[in-house]
């Protein structure tokens, strides 16, 4: 069973998992994280933390938290920043920021449950003693702003302070991605997997660059589309792409095993 994934950072692990569960992998990296060289947002965030202007901090990704901390360390004010940050209400979206904050000796007050989307964050905020009314919430962004999430926080009386530390770009070598798109257009994959909303955007833009966006979308209609979770699924639906399944847990191994099993069962039926 031919399985296509657009995983970048963990591409080797993804290929190994696909083989393990009986698939023939095509893993085409679709994106890379690019730290913002100026780090203007990180420096301003550190200053506002030290001045007591931010009551709640929400870390969305491990890479973003690490990049943010590394930027602050270059200012020579890390100790004062770390001490002040540790006195704030700290929320994490999922498991990846946890070891980064642990290494930085910053406690965690709340962690959103699976599948770790902004919707679970809101539900958690609404069901816990967190009082956001009149408070400033710093949100470490990942890629581009989530305006719907920010609107919901503002409806609850919060002032949202986005902290941007990196942006998304295409891989330095985009040819494997182009090759995967061409291959799908010529012969659709049995399974196509997406592990982030940004992957969806980048792959569609790559298909557009090739002049094969409509061919690519048509090929997906003949594939079993697997999405890691609700945020990714929402983005797929925005582009009119039908989703066959989401895994029982938003983890890569669950996604691969269950996606291949689902496709095999559908083929048998």
Q: 234 versus 38: which is more confidently predicted?
A: 234
pLDDT at 269: 76
pLDDT at 144: 75
- What is the pTM assigned to this prediction? 0.79
Residue 218: CB atoms within 10 Å: 13
| 248 prior amide bond cis, ω within 30 | no
Alpha-carbon distance of 37 to 215, in angstroms, equals 37
Q: State the pLDDT confidence band at 35, using cuts at 50, 70 and 90.
A: confident
pLDDT at 21: 97
Nearest to 28 by CA among 222, 233, 216: 216
pLDDT at 266 over 80: yes
Q: pLDDT for 142-191, tens place per residue?
A: 777 889 999 999 999 999 999 998 888 999 999 999 999 999 999 999 99
Q: What percent of the chain has pLDDT over 70?
A: 100
Q: Give the CA distances from residue 123 to residues 28, 93, 197, in Å, rounded to whole numbers and listed in that order.
A: 35, 12, 21
Q: 56 versus 268: which is more confidently predicted?
A: 56
pLDDT at 157: 97
Radius of gyration from C-alpha coordinates of the chain = 20
Q: State the pLDDT confidence band at 210, using cuts at 50, 70 and 90.
A: very high
Domains of the chain from N-terminus onward: 2-31+172-268 (3.40.50.10090), 34-168 (3.40.50.10090)
pLDDT at 268: 80
Q: State the pLDDT confidence band at 204, using cuts at 50, 70 and 90.
A: very high
pLDDT at 45: 96
Helix (H) or strand (E) holding 250: none
pLDDT at 57: 98
The mean per-residue pLDDT over the stretch 213-236 comes to: 96
Q: Rounded to 5, what percent of the chain is helix, strand, coil? A: 45, 15, 35
Residue 28: CB atoms within 10 Å: 24
The mean per-residue pLDDT over the stretch 64-87 comes to: 94
Q: pLDDT for 21-30, tens place per residue?
A: 999 999 999 9
């Amino acid at each position: 069973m031919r399985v296509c994934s657009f995983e970048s950072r963990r591409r080797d692990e993804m290929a190994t998992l696909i083989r393990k569960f009986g698939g023939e992998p095509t893993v085409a990296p679709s994106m890379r994280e690019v730290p913002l060289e100026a780090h203007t947002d990180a420096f301003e965030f550190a200053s506002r933390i030290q001045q007591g202007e931010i009551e709640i901090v929400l870390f969305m990704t491990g890479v973003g938290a690490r990049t943010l901390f590394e930027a602050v360390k270059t200012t020579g004010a890390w100790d004062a920043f770390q001490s002040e940050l540790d006195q704030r209400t700290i929320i994490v979206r999922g498991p990846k920021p946890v070891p980064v904050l642990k290494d930085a000796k910053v406690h965690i007050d709340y962690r959103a449950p699976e599948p770790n989307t902004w919707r679970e964050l809101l539900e958690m905020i609404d069901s816990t003693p967190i009082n956001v009314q009149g408070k400033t919430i710093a949100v470490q962004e990942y890629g581009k702003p989530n305006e719907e999430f920010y609107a919901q926080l503002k409806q609850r009386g919060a002032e949202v302070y986005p902290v941007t530390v990196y942006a998304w770009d295409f891989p330095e070598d985009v040819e494997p991605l182009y090759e995967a798109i061409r291959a799908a257009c010529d012969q659709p994959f049995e399974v196509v997997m997406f592990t982030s909303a940004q992957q969806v955007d980048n792959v569609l833009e790559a298909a557009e660059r090739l002049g094969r966006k409509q061919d690519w979308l048509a090929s997906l209609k003949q594939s079993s589309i697997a999405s890691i979770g609700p945020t990714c699924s929402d983005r797929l639906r925005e582009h009119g792409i039908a989703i066959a399944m989401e895994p029982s847990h938003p983890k890569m191994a669950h996604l691969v095993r269950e996606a291949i099993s689902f496709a095999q069962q559908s083929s048998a039926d």
